[in-house]
Amino acid sequence: MAWICLVVAGLFECCWAIGIKYSDGFTKLVPTVFTISSMAISIWLLSIAMKSIPIGTAYAVWTGIGAVGVALLGMLIFDEPKDLVRIICLLLIVSGIVGLKLASSPAINSV
């Protein structure tokens, strides 16, 4: 359950990062409310996940999901560059997230 909370928290991190862009410096009401709500939900879910996932792992995965998600959304929504180097770097972040998840599994820790 903690990992589900952590993934959803990472997705809400993507929401608030994109929401900041649409809030226009927090001058537009609806995007601002969306952004602040997404921030609160993201932090709340992260705090729940940290009850059973080590803080370093949880924070790295949370920020990794946010970084990859926002970079991908930037490419799709804001027409940011989609070059091979960016894609490879994003895949490296994803491999790090997967590695942290695998390193946190009980089977690996008992070896």
Q: What's the pLDDT tens digit per position in 22-33? A: 999 999 999 999
With beta carbons less than 8 A apart as the criterion, state whether 2 and 51 touch: yes
Neighbour tally for 74: CB within 10 Å: 17
Number of domains in the chain: 1
DSSP 8-state secondary structure symbol assigned to residue 28: S
Instruction: Look at the pTM and tell me if it is higher than 0.75.
Output: yes
Percent above pLDDT 70 for the chain: 95
For residue 69, give its domain range: 2-109
